[in-house]
A and B are shown apart, each in its own frame.
Chain A
Amino acid sequence: MISENKLAGEVDDPIVADALRHFKSSVDYWSEAAYSQPRTARLGTQLKWRMAASWALGCLLAAASVAGTLYEHHAGREAARIAAIKAAEQKAARQQKVAERPVTATVVPGQPVVVVKAGAKEDENLLATVDSDVSRQVPAAMEPLAQLMDTGGAN
């Protein structure tokens, strides 16, 4: 208990003095009880909430990453399937184009009939023209020799 003479000089009001005495004895009593009480480590509510939130966030992230991976895998497979279908369609279209070209037959007596598709014939002609053009082109340095050869051939 707080001593009477200590309060006497400062606290003239008996009710205030009484309240202060009760206050001190209350704090003493509480402190003694809390001090002697064995304490166990316990998690605070805030900490528990924080841990739960961390777990939830962790689970959410894990689920999101798994879902993302699955989606990516599925999307890859779908894209490959579409590409395969397109490729097949293109191939079929090409084959159909080839099949639709007109067919010409070259008949030489005594030789088997050669059946050539129109497109193939055009290709052959084109290649022959290119060959002849290339063969006629002579480098500038070889021009006199070519002329000589022409004149020699004429003679």
Chain B
Amino acid sequence: MLQFLKSTFAPVLAVSVALAPIAALAQSRDWEVSRNASEIGFSGTHAGRAFDGEFGQWTARIRFDPRDLGNSRIVVVVDTGSATTGDRVQETTLKNPEWFDSANNRFATFRSNEISSRGGNRYLASGTLEIRGKQVPVSLPFTATISGDSARASGKLTLDRIALGMGTKSDPRAQWVSRNIDLTFQVAATR
């Protein structure tokens, strides 16, 4: 039972701790993400077959106001060890040092530096993705629709896993795992 509690709540606890430095951002204006209606997924091909998965543990702090993009900010922390694809070989491989290296770099973090409007409900969040202990600049396009106190947002980002240093020993020429990995997210939030 203790083990169960530990394994269930330790990631949540750890994510909370990892978020502590940015907790200062938290204000009543922040959006609260409805985890049940939100998902961060990833997809690509492996051994000639499409795969998709999602992260079971993640948390996001979102301050977003289309009329005040200058003060809008997004921070997402993902527990890399919580990636599931439905295939145990893939899931085990992903945690390995060559991929997420979850033992040493448990969390991947996206921090926006600037959010800009691309017209209509389209936006672009430019920021930094920290993964495997390395920081890379990324631009995350997304759409957001706000009605009253609820919002929906979704976006897709294509990542070059080689550039992130993932699978560079076993599969540098992407003969097994596609070089491009699509990261998708759908978020439902309220305030």
Q: Verify that A and B bind, or say they do not.
A: no
Q: Which residues of A come within 8 Å of B, CB atoms?
A: none
